[in-house]
Every structure is written in structure tokens, then in C-alpha cells.
Structure 1
Amino acid sequence: MARYLPLARPWFGLVAAFALLGVAVQVVAVAVDSAPYSVFTGTGARVANVFAYFTILSNLLVGVTHVLLAVDPARDSLAMRVLLLDAVVGIAVTGIVYNLVLAQTVDPHGLHQVATVVCHMITPLLAVVGWLVFGPRGLVDREVVLVSAGYPLAWLAFTLVRGAVIDWYPYPFVDVVAHGYARIAVNCLVVAVLFVGLGFGALALDRRLPGLGAR
């Protein structure tokens, strides 16, 4: 572990800084520019709505877990294991889905563009590379993978129920009004399978890669 520690802690700190910076910039962007959120007329409502996005929640998870790792890379508990896997897989899904599916549907400007680049590109890359290089290793098992799946499923359930109430959805692939429940059910299944598949991929890699706590 010692040979990884000098680089691991500053890397975890760097990842946390970018993740939290991206969220902060996005909050400021929606506070000063209502154009992309015209359905929410008040500043407070627009800011609160930022946290309905899977991207923002995943960046927050990355920020919090990596602050904890920067302070104590040996930190270990079931909650930490689940949150860290949710953070790494969630931010990987964020990068994959945005860059392969959503990037062609949006045209951000100003602070929105800065937040988009940080939250969807820089943070996913740094977080995934950091996990591959440093880990921490030995924190992923079958139970952790299955429990971590509760995060995207809970987000999907919340998003669909809230969307039905307020008639607004954060992403086109969960917009029931535009696509109908059958299509959205398929889209949600794809996201869930991607998340769990990446979780089991992380389990396989965790057993083979070196890093902090490697056995």
C-alpha cells in the first residue's frame, strides 16, 4: 500500500475538487440563467431541480467519497463500499450516456458549457482512471454490487413519479410524454443493466488490479 499512498491521496483530492467544482458551477449557471429551465420560474426552484439530475447526484457522490478517501484511504465500511461503487459506476454511466447519447441533443453555452465539460467529461475520466490505478482494492463483492443497484433504481423511480406529477423529465430517455411507458421501460432496463454490468465488471477488475489495499 505504501508505494501507492503518496500519489493516491492527492489524486483523490483532485477528483473530489473537480466533482464538487462541476456541481457548484452548474448551480450558479442555473441560478443566473433560466433559459434551459423555463418550466421552473423561481431561482430556488431551478437550483433545487439541479439535484434531480443523475449527473449531479453522481458527481456529488464522487466528491463526497473522494474527500473521505483523501482524508483516509483505508476507510472501510459497508456504506463506504456501496457509496464508492455507486460513485465510480454512476460517474462512468454519466460519461458513457452523455457522450454517446445525449451530447447530440444539447448545446450548452457559458457557465452551462463549463459545467457540462467538468461533470460529463473531466470528472468521469479522472474518477475512473483513479479507481483503476489506486482502487482502493478489496472493497467490491457480490453483495456490494447488488446493493449499489438501489441507487439508479431509486433515481429512476423518483424521476418517473415526479415527472408524472410536474410533467417534466430531466433527460429525453425518461420522458414518458414523448416516448410512452413501453419505450421508457426499455430505456430504464438498459440503464439498469449497464449499471449492474459495470458493477460486476468492477468486481472482476477489483480482484486483479493492484492498488491501495491490494491483496
Structure 2
Amino acid sequence: MQKSERIFKLIILLISLIGIILHLESGFKTFGYNIFWFFTVLSNIAVLLHYICFFFIPVKISYRVKGYLLEPIMLTGIINWFILVPFVLKEYGSILPLLQPSNFFVHGLIPVLVIIDWFVFDPKGIFDKKDYLRWMIIPLLYSIIIYVRALFGKAIFQGSRYPYPFFDPKHMNGVIGVIVVLVLISICYVFIGKLLYKIKESKRI
């Protein structure tokens, strides 16, 4: 491993740790322990654990495992930069609300740094051609857990037992609305996963 790679990964680890601490400190005031049901929090914790483990487990395994967290944290960044930024800019005339450290580190900065790290330093040919389908395990498990939790848990956000409106049939005009959104998200997830695989695919001569 190059020295520059180790330094860059260490920077991500430290920024990730600081960002999670700040985000949890802020989030606990509003959500309490329910903050841990949010995808953003879980994806950032996964990033932190990955970069901690990176220095203690075989590099080849670490690169392969990274595929499972790459899309979740990338999804967090896409939502922030391409959905939240235009919305906040329109509503408030400024993106300053999104630049608060407790929000910016986990939603904006960490996703960008992880993608840069993956693009610049991760080797080609590390992924199996079916890995992009295996990566779907993460959002599928998350969705199942969220629905099981909703059966027994209390409200998380604005009277809803779900962390995000698109999970809640009441907000989506019924179960069909939820299914449509989840199917669209799944299709996008598979498409992005396939694209990431192709970018790092080994070139055969």
C-alpha cells in the first residue's frame, strides 16, 4: 500500500469519526436512540468501521468488502448534493444550513472522500461480476428490519414509525406507492452497482 493511500484513508477515518460524533450529538437531541434507524447514520458507521478494519485485515478482503458500503454512502451523498442542496437553496436562498459540521461531514464530505479513495486507490479486478447484485443485500436487509421494527416500535419522526416517508404507506397513498418507490430505488441501486463494477473491471487483452 502506498504511503499516500494510507494517509488519505487515515484522513477519512478521522473525519468520519468526528462527523459521526457531531451528528449523533445533534441527532440525539431530536431523535434519541432512534437516530440509529437512519440510513445515513448506519452507512457512516459502516464507513468508519471499514477504515478502522482496513489497517488490520488483509487488503484484498478489505477492498472486496468495501463494495458493500460504497453504494450506501454514495446514495447518501447523491441525495445530499443533488436533492437536498437544490431544495434548500430554493427554500432558503443559501446552502448554509447544510454546511453545519454535524450535517456536512456525514452527508456531504465523507461520501465524496470515499468515492475519491475508491476511484484513485482501489485496484481493478477486485470484484466478482455478480458482486453488484450481492450488494443489494444491504438495502434489502435494512428495509426488512425497518418494517419489522415498525410493527413493534414507537414513532421515530413526526408521528411515523418509519425513518423516511417513502417507507410509510400513510405518506405514500398506500402500499402500492411504497412498492413503486422501493422498486425504483432498487433498479437505481442495481444500475449504479453495475456501473461501479464496470469502472473497476479488469481489462482483458
Same fold (TM over 0.5): yes
Q: What TM-score do the two structures reach when normalised by structure 2? A: 0.79
CA distance in 1 between partners of 2:80 and 2:161 (Å): 19
Aligned to 1:203: 197
C-alpha contact 1:82 1:145 (8 A) present in aligned 2: no
Q: Which moved more, 1:16-25 or 1:55-64?
A: 16-25
Q: Which moved more, 1:126-135 or 1:17-26?
A: 17-26
C-alpha contact 2:16 2:44 (8 A) present in aligned 1: yes
Q: Deviations over 1:141-165 (max 9, x none)?
A: 2232222210011111212332344
Task: Answer yes or no: is 1:83 the counterpart of 2:62.
Answer: no
- Relative distance call for 1:186 and 1:163 in structure 2 (3 A) is same
C-alpha contact 1:19 1:123 (8 A) present in aligned 2: yes
Shift of 1:114: 2.1
Shift of 1:112: 9.8
Match of 2:77 among 95, 115, 122: 95
Mind listing any 5+ residue stretches in structure 2 that lack a counterpart?
155-159
Q: Which amino acid aligns with 1:13?
A: L
C-alpha contact 1:61 1:86 (8 A) present in aligned 2: no
Aligned to 1:40: none
The number of equivalent residue pairs is 191
CA distance in 1 between partners of 2:132 and 2:164 (Å): 25
CA distance in 2 between partners of 1:118 and 1:172 (Å): 23
C-alpha contact 1:61 1:83 (8 A) present in aligned 2: no
Match of 1:61 among 13, 36, 46: 46
Q: What TM-score do the two structures reach when normalised by structure 1? A: 0.76
Task: Answer yes or no: is 1:156 the counterpart of 2:139.
Answer: no
CA distance in 2 between partners of 1:20 and 1:175 (Å): 31
What pairs up with 1:107-122 in 2 under 5 angstroms?
A: 113-122=100-109
Q: Which amino acid aligns with 1:30?
A: G
CA distance in 1 between partners of 2:146 and 2:171 (Å): 15
Q: Which amino acid aligns with 2:186?
A: A
Higher relative contact order (CA 8 A, sep 6+): 1
CA distance in 2 between partners of 1:191 and 1:82 (Å): 23
C-alpha contact 2:98 2:104 (8 A) present in aligned 1: no
Shift of 1:173: 2.3
C-alpha contact 2:132 2:193 (8 A) present in aligned 1: yes
Aligned to 1:178: 171
CA distance in 2 between partners of 1:101 and 1:169 (Å): 20
Question: Identity across aligned pairs (percent)?
Answer: 22
CA distance in 2 between partners of 1:8 and 1:162 (Å): 40
- Relative distance call for 1:119 and 1:202 in structure 2 (3 A) is same
- Relative distance call for 1:190 and 1:22 in structure 2 (3 A) is farther
